[in-house]
Amino acid sequence: MENPPRLSTMSDRVLCRAHVDKVDENQWVVEVFGLDPHDFTRRYEINAKSDTLAAQEGIRRFVDEMGAREDQ
């Protein structure tokens, strides 16, 4: 019998918020601010059709980066 997939716990989560500024038509600067224990700030330049999509991509990159930090 296989083990069931592990459910996410609070310790697995990366909590953060994003601030988005429009630079050009489809160009955005996204600053992502993490909450403890991932209390870092990252700035990403993102091409996206809307500020919502830019924020989602910035948060996705931040979460990936924080996950990579934990793997080391």
Q: Confirm whether 10 is domain-assigned.
A: no
Tell me the torsion sign for CA atoms 35, 8, 58, 44: positive
Q: Confirm whether 31 is domain-assigned.
A: yes
| pLDDT tens-digit series, residues 18-57 | 999 999 999 999 999 999 999 999 999 999 999 999 999 9
* Structural domains of the chain, count: 1
Residue 6 has a pLDDT of 55
* Residue position matching structure tokens 């080391």: 72
Parent domain of 52: 15-71
Q: 15, 34 in Cβ contact below 8 A?
A: yes
What pTM does this model have? 0.81
Question: Exposed (0-12), middle (13-18) or buried (19+): which is 70, by Cβ within 10 Å?
Answer: exposed
Q: Confirm whether 4 is domain-assigned.
A: no
Rounded to whole angstroms, what are the CA distances from 61 to 34, 50, 72? 12, 17, 17
Confidence of residue 61 (pLDDT cuts 50, 70, 90): very high
